[in-house]
Structure 1
Amino acid sequence: MKKAILILLVIAMIIPMGLTGCTNHRGGQLIIGNTTELAGDFGEAQWQNNAADADIRELINGYSPVALTRQAEYVYNDKVATVTQETNEDGTKTFTVKLVEDLKWNDGTPITAKDYVAKILLFSSPIIKDMGARGTYGMSFVGWQEYSASREKDADGNYIGEEEPTRVFSGVRLLGKYEFSVTVSTDYLPYYFEITYVDITPIPRALWLPADVDLSDEGEGAHFNDKFTFEHCSETIENARYANENRLSCGPYTLQSFDKTALEAVLVINDNYKGDYTGQKPNIEKLVYKKVTSETMIDELKTGQVDFLVQLSEGDEIKEALALVDNGGFDFTKYERNGYGKIQFQCDFGPTQFVNVRKAIAHLFDRNAFADTFCGGFGTVVHGPYGFAMWMYKEKEDQLNTTLDTYAFSMDEATKLLEEDGWTLNAEGGAYESGIRYKKVTAEEAGTYKHNVTLADGTILMPLIVEWASTEGNPVSDLLSVMLANSDNVKNAGMQIKQQIMTFTELLNWMYRDSSQGEAYGVPTYGMYNLATGFYPAYDQSYNFTLDPDLVAAGYNTNYIFDEKLDQLSMDMVYAVEPGDKESYAQYWFDFIVHWNELLPEIPLYSNIYHDVYNDKLQNWDVDGFWDLSYGLLYAWVEE
């Protein structure tokens, strides 16, 4: 028999301080400045996940049956649905979602179960994978492998066989106009963040699919009709990904427009939004979200060209902004970061495929001095993929401090690592004395790296030249250029780090090897990037270090590091732990961090104290490393 368990909805009996909003404060405008540029990719993060685009998506999407509380806990949202859970005889689990019947899109049309099921089907489909998206949205559900399987190709790259537009997704059921269910495979149970299996938001089918594409369920699983083909749907899907004029959506705000030249988005209140898990609706009538530069953003704040600067990180910028606050008319909020700044390596080609090279680079500059210089006293160096806001870090801090390799600055250690790894030759294959080091490599190690040298006898030599992609107007890039890339330390170590400056959007294209944005991006080119990462409250690294070539091709494991132990630890951290077992989760997290630190697929640079600085017309601004911009804006208001 199936054991049916009603999941009790968690209802906040006491609204935390800051989550007030009972008084009507509606009105006004807020101009938000961010140094991360908008790319305009609003397609559900199924292709890339630029942090600025993510802010917009969080503001315009909504109505998940799962909500994040102010205490950073996941709960079921009874304003959206009632959720029940069944444990089946075969060990799978079925979550049944019964929607409330008053949810609407911003154009006033009703939201139904089809809109939720369509999202799972679309973003798990072979069509979406053929368009360069991940296609893994429903990966945890029974029947995903069969549903998502792509057609085979012949030697010339042509598809073999016909499309199957009506293919059934057996683990996803459309049960009624306002009811659907998903069944989780035993391969994905237990799962520490199990509640998030139904953290599913709807998509507007009128935006994403042609009008004649429908879906149904005759008892074996949900499926589209025979109009769901690549030829018929791909143009509509591509347009939906970038749609920006009064975009059809259901969150607290509507994306009214996006100016790709000015990198500016305008959002207005969605009057059909019924509120979050507490019933809170937005107050600020109009949001303008724009790109700012480090050089001018404080002046823009001072002169009213922007009202709000998001997540200031660099020490001098923070100090200048706080001086503005001291003069009156402005305020600030500070909070620990749930993330870190980093150098990211791609570890499957060129010199950075070798762990000793990655470690040598870490030893070639003083990361403590870097963090002190950049953060200006508002942050410090970290030694793994974590941020100061994490409870796991706070709990394991002492163990981390005594266990992790800090990769202290040492020319001797860097040289030793390189020599042990075989970087002992010159360009002619003789003993290295000065200049660029070379290493004898196999044809497999050589790959197609453009700097390789082949001697007359067929010996392949790889020079110690690292191609680095960095972004324009980025103070971290500027500091790395001085303290690392162009330093005497790197030169004297026999290494060259070649910097290429580009937009952040272009950097992400190279990092994701996103050939959907141009064939050139699919070719491994840069071994080193600098950027920053913010983590979701559900810290889940599973598949980020996968060895599965299909998942790598889908955009997972952008480090391209293939280590069985790292992959297993990242999976066990969440899939070997029952929900609520914080002790086991924290231990797996610690073991993962330790092994990651040994392999060093990235060099952590800093975690810091974020500062939001704003015109004091902004009221009730209450955020932290988990309850971020999109949540804060919902409860804030402006007094003009």
Structure 2
Amino acid sequence: MKRFLKLFLIATFAFAISFGLASCGGGEDTVSKEEYDRIVEELAEKAAELAALQESSVAKDEFDAKVQELLEKTAEIEALKEELDEVKNAVNDLLQGQLKIVPPADAEYHDNYLVLDVGETMEVGVKLADVVDVADKVSYNSADPTAVEFKYDSESKKATLHGTKAGIVTVNVTLATGLSGSLGVFVKEDVPTFDDTGKVKVVVGTPQMNGLFIAGFGNSSYDLSIRNLIHGYSTLWTTPGENFLWDTEAVLVEEPETEMLPARQVPETVLKFDEEGEPYYEPVLDEHGNPVMKDVNDKLFKFKLQQDLKWNDGTQITAKDYIFSLLFTASKQWADVKASSTTGDQLLGYADYRNPDTPKPEGASTPVFVGAKLVGEYEFHLIIDGENLPYFYETTMVALTPAPMHVYAPEADVVTDPETQGTYLTGFTAERAQWVKDVYCFNPTVSCGPYNFIYFKNQVVRLEKNPYFKTDGEGYAPMVDVIEQRWINQDTDVYQVIAGEVDIVAGVIESEKIEALKTSDTAYPVTYSRNGYGMIAFACDFGPTKEAKVRQAIGMLVDRNEFVQEILGGYGVLVNGAYGLSQWMYQEKRQELEAQLIQYSLNTEEANDFLDETDWKFEADGVTPFDRTKAGPDKNYFRYNSKGEMLQVNHFGTTENDITDLIALRLPVNCAYAGIKYTVTYGGFDTLLNHYYYGYTMDESERVYHAFNLASGFGSPYDPYYSWHSVWVGKSYLNSCQLADAILDECIETMRSQEATEEGRGNFANAWLQFQIRWNELLPSVPLYSNEYYDAVNNRVKDLQTTPTWGWARAIIRATVEA
């Protein structure tokens, strides 16, 4: 019976491919090609008759009758088209997941990705329902077609995949009817070998890495770990307990002197939104229409560097490297390569420096940054714009890490403007900014952190101890000689730690793995409250998820308790906002918070109520009211708006991910009861981050996903301005959900404008509470859980002490490791 059904579906599908039609079942509803052609022919004849009548000016009654007959035939063919579309969609739905690229049986896989060497050609099949090879009927595409080529040879009737460039890519094949299939391919290259005899080495296992090892292009935690190990010498040090201290241990001679500068007058402004929701600042006017002015006092910080700081190539680090870092990351050239940076955004003159219309000195590559002053070879000054004071985390406004000017831009120089004493760059070009993005970002061999970057190949990063590195901000120097971070199978990661194949796996949440770790004699857990949460994040600027009521409805269609039990096995709790259990604000406001938030839980009636308040309240004609009693799985009954557009939400999740699997199992079913067609697509983490972070830059034609499942961690310090403020909408990945809301902005600005005092701390917590209440109402993402994190550590690594804000890459410097 199953084979008969499969063959029947294949036959139906082949009929659709051949004739552009689809037929299913029998009896009165059957549509044939002959009938379709007959109606089209009659339609053409009626149109010709109508034209003839117009030409001969026949009686109006006859003309009207012919028009009516033509309209009836037009309606008939439109109805047939709709029926054909429905049948085609039904067939596609039945065959969903049945179009596959099929490699040879002995092909190698890594974490369910087909392994292909650079230069290797592999013969593959493209099978429909595991039976019919349709390689000659598919089109091919991938995110990076230069990495893997797909070819079909009509003579040999064979399809092949050919690896052309190292990397991870998802290849897609599509039939003319729209049915598609995909395969993840891991293209490997040759890597050098090293003799690590006698060296202390630590191996860390992670999911896929993006290989973005400088800031500006996303914040994958796996890339961030490498950044923390290879970059260093920030003027401000963050302790494991999340305290901010000036680094007088290794970087500064002494804590910077500060000075309040004389008051200056500036116009008052207020944040507004235009008709398209874009934020802008508008001057405040008095009753006569004149700008209202206010006094502000800027604040000067004076930094003196220790004189024995060096890059890992032996080059001296000077004040120019620190000022260059600021001028580079804030430059138009860096912004033009789509890099995001907030370094220096609170300093005097930042907006003018960023403005492409600001005049530049003769021969300069950038305008003058008046708030950045080069005072000597090892001394520089920074000025905080008084309009940005007070600020709860004031010292972070002037924290700087050096950048290797002699590598980034060998012809560049930091020059002092004689009029303002500010600084600007010469000899810095757009080509060098592009080089930093395209080359240095993936291969940052010159740096100044505790470890040197050796290579990133085949999803393995190799680091070696930097002999020029002094210490971190509390006097610790690295003891481990070699660190390797590599992509490993996520189903077996903890078991590899227990077996001694890997030394560290961070951020474990699955209950089965945690139990195995707790009972192991060869490994131990380090546990801490998560400073973040797992979520389904929405694109708040695209498609149906632009509407808060749609997002709230989906929130009522997720059984979040099931995620806690099925995925975390009880090692987690529900959260209802953008917070983690370890945050001090949550600890202080917990009871008030939980009493005022909407508790999203599985409730199809409330989901339908939310949607009935939107324009998604009709049947396909855009007129007939949606009837919730008709909705459900396999009913093919969905909501439409008044334009006749179906309410469809497209979700993207990563492969080999239990959370994606549970979403794919439950959400399409639950959402059907509310008339939402919820689709789930699997793919690589790189594809997810590209659409999640940079969807706002894509054309409407290439942007398809409205929801993503991933996890979020909170930075240190916690300032939601850099995650949720409207100033980033349409301009940066920082506000990843692209949510613009004036009330949220007001809460954020109240938080950050507090003094670092007990009173300021209380005001910050109160504003944070209001922020969470509003965020919970807007629901830019559905928080699935917060939980305890478990880092799995092999017994040979001693005393690894991680915290919510102090990951393994920070802690490893203080740990000891058996050889």
Could you tell me the TM-score, scaled by structure 2's length?
0.67
Q: In 2, are the aligned partners of 1:370 and 1:483 still within 8 Å (CA)? A: no
Count of residue pairs brought into register by the alignment: 573
- Partner Cα separation in structure 2 for residue 466 and residue 237 of structure 1: 34
Mapping of 1:494-573 within 5 angstroms?
494-513=675-694, 524-548=703-727, 552-573=730-751
| Aligned residues of 1:371 and 1:380 also touching (Cα < 8 A) | yes
Residue correspondence of structure 1 range 389-404 to structure 2 within 5 A:
389-404=582-597
Q: Tell me by how many angstroms 1:577 deviates.
A: 4.2
What is the alpha-carbon distance in structure 2 between the residues aligned to residue 546 and residue 117 of structure 1?
27
Shift of 1:381: 0.9
| Residues in 1 aligned to 2:389 and 2:730: alpha-carbon distance in whole angstroms | 22
1:124 and 1:29 mapped to 2: Cα distance? 38
Contact kept? 1:385, 1:604, Cα under 8 Å: yes
CA shift in 2, pair 1:514/1:271, >3 Å: farther
Alignment of 1:173-252 (within 5 A): 173-209=373-409, 211-219=410-418, 220-231=420-431, 233-244=433-444, 247-252=445-450
CA distance in 1, matches of 2:707, 2:695: 16
Larger-gyration structure (1/2): 2
The question of whether the paired residues in 1 share the 8 Å contact of 2:797 and 2:815 is answered with yes
SS at match of 1:195: helix
Deviation at 1:163, TM superposition (A): 9.8
C-alpha deviation, 1:390, in angstroms: 1.0
Q: CA deviation at 1:136?
A: 3.5
Could you say if the C-alpha distance between residues 52 and 73 of structure 1 is closer, same or farther in structure 2, counting changes exceeding 3 Å?
A: same
2:454 maps to which of 256, 281, 299:
256
Matched residue, 1:144:
350
1:212: how far off?
A: 1.2
Q: Which residue of 1 aligns with 2:490?
A: 294
Q: What is the aligned-residue identity percentage? A: 31
Pairwise CA distance, 1:578: 4.0
Matching residue of 1:440: 641
Question: Conserved in 1, the CA contact under 8 Å of 2:344 and 2:397?
Answer: no
What is the aligned partner in structure 2 of residue 318 from structure 1?
514
Hey, what does 2:478 align to over in structure 1? 282
2:469 paired residue number: 273
1:263-301 deviations in whole A, cap 9, x for unaligned?
Answer: 111111111111012211011111111112322223422
> In the alignment, is the contact (CA less than 8 A) between 1:147 and 1:168 conserved in 2?
yes
What SS is found at the alignment partner of 1:368? helix
In 2, are the aligned partners of 1:126 and 1:135 still within 8 Å (CA)?
no
Q: 1:107 aligns with which of 296, 313, 319?
A: 313
- Cα distance change, pair 521–639 in 1 and its aligned pair in 2 (3 A): farther
Structure 2 Cα separation of the partners of residues 111 and 102 of structure 1: 8
User: 3-state SS of the aligned residue for 2:210?
Assistant: coil
* Correspondence for 1:473: 656
Where does 1:615-634 land on structure 2 (aligned, <5 Å)? 615-634=794-813
CA-CA distance at 1:257 after TM superposition: 1.2
TM-score (norm 1): 0.85
- Could you tell me whether the CA contact under 8 Å between 2:240 and 2:803 is conserved in 1? no
1:79-94 to 2 correspondences below 5 Å: 79=249, 80-81=251-252, 82=254, 83-90=256-263, 91-94=297-300
**Are the structure 2 counterparts of residues 562 and 266 from structure 1 closer, same or farther at C-alpha, using a change threshold of 3 Å?**
same
Secondary structure, counterpart of 2:356 in structure 1? coil
Cα distance, 1:369 vs structure 2: 2.4
Q: CA deviation at 1:467?
A: 1.3
Q: In structure 2, how many angstroms separate the alpha carbons of the residues matched to 1:172 and 1:223?
A: 6
Give yes or no for the alignment of 1:98 onto 2:304. yes
Amino acid at match of 1:394: Q
Q: Is the 8 A contact 2:754 2:761 kept in 1?
A: no
Task: Give the unaligned 5+ runs of structure 1.
Answer: 1-25, 153-161, 442-459
Does the 8 A contact of 2:537 with 2:782 survive in 1?
Answer: yes
- Conserved? CA contact 2:527–2:790, under 8 Å: yes
Q: 1:33 to 1:369 in 2, by over 3 A?
A: same
Q: What residue is the counterpart of 2:292 in the other structure?
A: none
Q: What is the aligned partner in structure 2 of residue 372 from structure 1?
A: 565
Deviation at 1:575, TM superposition (A): 2.1
Distance 1:556 1:288 in 2: 29
Asked whether 1:69 is paired with 2:239, we answer: yes
How far apart, CA to CA, are the structure 2 residues paired with 1:545 and 1:303?
Answer: 42
Shift of 1:579: 5.1
Contact 2:695/2:703 (<8 A) preserved = no
Q: CA deviation at 1:229?
A: 2.4
* Distance (Å, rounded) in 2 between the aligned partners of 1:597 and 1:401: 11
Which residue type is aligned with residue 87 of structure 1?
M
1:470 Cα offset (Å): 1.1
Aligned partner of residue 463 in structure 1, secondary structure: coil
Q: Secondary structure at the match of 2:346?
A: coil
**Residue pair 2:408, 2:432 contacting (<8 A) in 1 also:** no
Task: Considering Cα pairs closer than 8 Å and 6+ residues apart, tell me whether 1 or 2 has the greater RCO.
Answer: 1
Match of 1:53 among 214, 223, 231: 223
- Within the candidate set 207, 210, 216, 1:39 is matched to 210
* Residues 86 and 65 of structure 1, relative CA distance in 2, 3 Å threshold: same
CA distance in 2, matches of 1:358, 1:164: 49
Mapped partners of 1:520, 1:242: distance in 2:
27
Instruction: Give, in whole Å, the separation in 1 of the partners of 2:711 and 2:700.
Output: 21
CA shift for structure 1 position 616: 0.3
Consecutive unaligned residues in structure 2, runs of 5 or more: 1-197, 264-296, 631-635
Opposite residue 120 of structure 1, the aligned amino acid is L
Q: CA RMSD for the aligned pairs?
A: 2.2
- How far did 1:339 drift? 0.8
1:557 maps to amino acid:
N
